[in-house]
Amino acid sequence: MPPKVRLIIIWVVVIFLLYSVVNDPERSADVVLALWDVIWGAIANIGRFFEELFTGSIGR
């Protein structure tokens, strides 16, 4: 992707995010919290996987 196009896309996304936060901050906060829950759940599940892998308790 050409650098100019990439820069334009980044600016459009940033402007849209700022608009959405100013327009409806409560909904934006809900979206951020939902994303945080997804990220935290993924990290916890990866940690649980490696813990079970190293302790040998998978399949018991």
Per-residue pLDDT tens over the stretch 21-32: 899 989 989 988
Whether the pLDDT of residue 57 is over 90: the answer is no
Whether the pLDDT of residue 60 is over 90: the answer is no
Q: How confident is the model at residue 47 (pLDDT cuts 50, 70, 90)?
A: very high
Concatenated DSSP letters of 1-18: --HHHHHHHHHHHHHHHH
When the pLDDT of each residue in the chain is averaged and rounded to a whole number, the result is 90
Separation between Cα atoms, residue 27 and residue 23, nearest integer Å:
9
